[in-house]
Amino acid sequence: MNPYLLPEGNVQIAFSGGRSSGYMLHQILEANGSIPKRAIVTFQNTGREMPETLDFVHEVGNRWGVQIEWLEYLPDSPGFIVVDHASAARTGEPFEALIRKRKFLPNVRARFCTTELKIRAAKRFLMAQGWKKWTNCTGLRADEQRRLNKPKPKERWTTWNPMADAGIVKQDVSKFWSTQPFDLQLLNDNGKTPYGNCDGCFLKSESIVARLAVDHPERAAWWEEMEELASGLTSGAGGKFSKRYSRKELRIFLQDQGQLVLETDGLLCQADEGECFG
């Protein structure tokens, strides 16, 4: 049986805006002929996605003729807003609104940004459509066992990972996009996209966060500004994204050390925290 055939009932197809979930969406379209009304493709924008990611999501929808629901977090009821490529936040507005509401920053051990900006924003939208139970289709590959082996959520949905079921790994995804007339215009580093999803996410290695500060200082500045904001909102330790360093400290360190720090393997890599991609 084709692993990309939609299961029965309502199905949320979670499109992150990356190459893997884009590949998954393509295979679902191929297997089913189209997206039926009982299935909804969602993209949750945090406001910190690179412009290339937003362009890619827009192009996927246009080229493949698929309706993609662009969603963003709202701090007040109903908890989400529907946007599009033109109106989508580009300077972190949903993320900042969440920080102001929580009055401290998310971190490796308190990843409420993913929960609120992505998972619950989509959940609230789907419930607003009258859905009570559904299948959540994610773009996890067969070579992401650590993420696949996480406990199943005690939620309204069950999880479906067709790419893992099909044995797809990152090399398969890269090969697919190399044959397509368009692609995500972000670096493909051996199947990984360093600036994919939130540009300066604290789950990325310090080397990637440092590279962002060098390549895109205007984007790195937002993360430093949020640490300053949170420091004024909390009296505890919630004013940094990482317990190891602040974004200001990292910027000053880079100014002092120059390119050497980026050219030395392992010098900046939080291998003991988060998901060390670099």
Q: pLDDT of 227-248, one tens digit each?
A: 999 999 976 667 999 988 999 9
Instruction: Give the span between the Cα atoms of 38 and 36, in whole angstroms.
Output: 5
Domain 11-178 CATH superfamily: HUPs (3.40.50.620)
pLDDT value, residue 149:
82
Lowest mean pLDDT among 78-82, 103-107, 155-159, 204-208: 204-208
Which residue has better confidence, 39 or 270?
A: 39
> Residue 102 above 60 pLDDT?
yes
pLDDT value, residue 238:
75
Which residue has better confidence, 163 or 148?
A: 163
Structure tokens given for 54: 């937003």
Domain locations in the chain as residue ranges: 11-178, 206-263
Average pLDDT over residues 154-175: 95
> Residue 258 above 80 pLDDT?
no
Instruction: Give the span between the Cα atoms of 139 and 192, in whole angstroms.
Output: 14
> Does residue 86 contact residue 32 with C-beta atoms inside 8 Å?
no
> Does residue 108 contact residue 274 with C-beta atoms inside 8 Å?
yes
**Residue 74 pLDDT level (bands cut at 50, 70, 90):** very high
pLDDT value, residue 264:
62
| Average model confidence (pLDDT) across the chain | 92
Lowest mean pLDDT among 109-113, 253-257, 271-275: 271-275
pLDDT value, residue 277:
35
- Up-side HSE of residue 152: CA atoms within 13 Å toward CB? 10
Rg of the chain over Cα atoms, rounded to whole angstroms, equals 19
**Per-residue CA distances from 91 to 37, 47, 106, 163, 185 (Å):** 33, 6, 18, 32, 19
> Does residue 6 contact residue 28 with C-beta atoms inside 8 Å?
yes
Structure tokens given for 214: 């060098």
> Residue 11 above 90 pLDDT?
yes
Percent of the chain whose predicted confidence (pLDDT) is above 70: 91
**Residue 194 pLDDT level (bands cut at 50, 70, 90):** very high
Nearest alpha carbon to residue 90 among 48, 44, 43: 48
pTM for the model: 0.92
> Residue 259 above 70 pLDDT?
no
Which residue has better confidence, 235 or 186?
A: 186
pLDDT value, residue 27:
98
pLDDT value, residue 1:
87
Average pLDDT over residues 194-202: 95
Structure tokens given for 101: 């509401």
pLDDT value, residue 77:
96
Instruction: Give the span between the Cα atoms of 175 and 192, in whole angstroms.
Output: 13
Percent of the chain whose predicted confidence (pLDDT) is above 90: 79
